Amino acid sequence: MSDSTFRVKAVSATAAKTIVKARNFEIIVDEPENLGGTNTAANPVEYVLAAFAGCLNVMGHLIAGEMGFELRGLKIDISGNLNPAKLFGQSYEDRAGYKGISVKLTPDCDADETTLNEWLQTVENRCPVSDNLQNTTPVKVEIGKIAVKA
Amino acid sequence: MSDSTFRVKAVSATAAKTIVKARNFEIIVDEPENLGGTNTAANPVEYVLAAFAGCLNVMGHLIAGEMGFELRGLKIDISGNLNPAKLFGQSYEDRAGYKGISVKLTPDCDADETTLNEWLQTVENRCPVSDNLQNTTPVKVEIGKIAVKA
């Protein structure tokens, strides 16, 4: 298969609120008031977990189909902890992002434990978001041409 | 500062559509039809980029404030490429997730180039989502208690 490219275009609505477009979909990102936002939407690090949950759902169903059992439903609980000290420039001891992420998948199905363990391992191994969180990904950042004032 | 915990709770609506709750916010994740979904919302890997855009906006404004220049606006364009072959189990040559992510930040401000380069470096260094994408993060996955059929 050949590579697929995904993209978003975003603009700042305020210092903490962002209007993101992904294809024809609008995604609002904000921060709670204690992190400087207006609390109109989930915040960036919550969207990371939401992306992960969505990916695990897709992979969970795909792999169950490949393995030949029916997944009648799937609950996904994810949590992560981070220290906001680096974000705020108060300390550089801890990393900026999540130090660790915990996932609990609760499948509604009749598969036995051995089957489910194999399922879980395959889901995690082939899930794109899992890969991008657990492994390093090169990020290239550049400054675009600054708008000339009228 | 002490650690903050963020969490989401999600359920599968269909094999490709996920209903995610983050605090009181609902986030719908789906896939386009060519990836097996019903195309009612952005997909998981697009949400990763949206999260990154939201985080860069917050950090961009925070660091500009610290550096003493006004950020009147910020445009953020992000793209990433991945090969869906591993996701679909067709080939394990390429990794599952984004192979690389490109970001273009277009700030509306009067800062000079040297200032903006320092700004950019600091934004990237202290952005939690940037950290989680560029560096490894431990992920612990477990299977929850399976619902007993009535």
Find out whether A3 and B83 touch, Cβ atoms under 8 Å: yes
B93 touches chain A (CB under 8 A): no
Residue B72 clears pLDDT 70, i.e. is over it: yes
Mean pLDDT, rounded, of chain A: 96
Give the pair of three-digit tokens for residue A144: 């675009």
- Strand B139-143 and strand A100-108: pairing? parallel
Per-residue pLDDT of A82-123, as tens digits, reads 999 999 999 999 999 999 999 999 999 999 999 999 999 999
Q: What's the alpha-carbon Rg for chain A, to the nearest Å?
A: 19
Per-residue pLDDT of B84-108, as tens digits, reads 999 999 999 999 999 999 999 999 9
Chain B neighbors of A31, CB-CB under 8 A: 58
Chain B neighbors of A55, CB-CB under 8 A: 44-45
Give the pair of three-digit tokens for residue B103: 């970001």
Decide if A129 and B45 are in contact by the 8 Å CB cutoff: yes
pTM of this prediction exceeds 0.80:
yes
Distances, alpha carbon A117 to alpha carbons A125, A130, B92, B142, B143, in Å: 12, 17, 20, 9, 8
User: Is the ipTM beyond the 0.90 threshold?
Assistant: yes
Find out whether B89 and B56 touch, Cβ atoms under 8 Å: no
- CA torsion, points B141, B90, B88, B82, in degrees to nearest 10? 90
Q: Which amino acid is at A64?
A: A
Q: Which of B3, B31, B133 faces A83 most closely, judged by CB atoms? A: B3
Q: Give the model's pLDDT for residue B124.
A: 97
Q: Give the model's pLDDT for residue A50.
A: 98
Cα gap B108→B84, rounded to integer Å: 36
Cα gap A41→A18, rounded to integer Å: 10
Closest CA to A56 of B96, B52, B95, B85: B96
Chain B neighbors of A62, CB-CB under 8 A: 15, 36, 87-88
Q: Give the model's pLDDT for residue A145.
A: 80
CATH (residue range B43-134): 3.30.300.20
Q: Give the model's pLDDT for residue B145.
A: 81
User: Chain A neighbours among B 99-118 (CB < 8 Å)?
Assistant: 99-109, 116-117
Decide if B77 and A50 are in contact by the 8 Å CB cutoff: no
Q: Give the model's pLDDT for residue B71.
A: 97
Domain made up of A43-133: CATH architecture: 2-Layer Sandwich (3.30)
Identify from A7, A12, A79 which residue to disrupt to test chain B contact, counting B C-beta atoms within 10 A and taking the largest count.
Answer: A12
What does the domain layout of chain A look like in residue ranges? 7-41, 43-133
DSSP characters for B40-51? SS--HHHHHHHH
Q: Which of A73, A87, A142 faces B11 most closely, judged by CB atoms? A: A73
Mean pLDDT, rounded, of chain B: 96
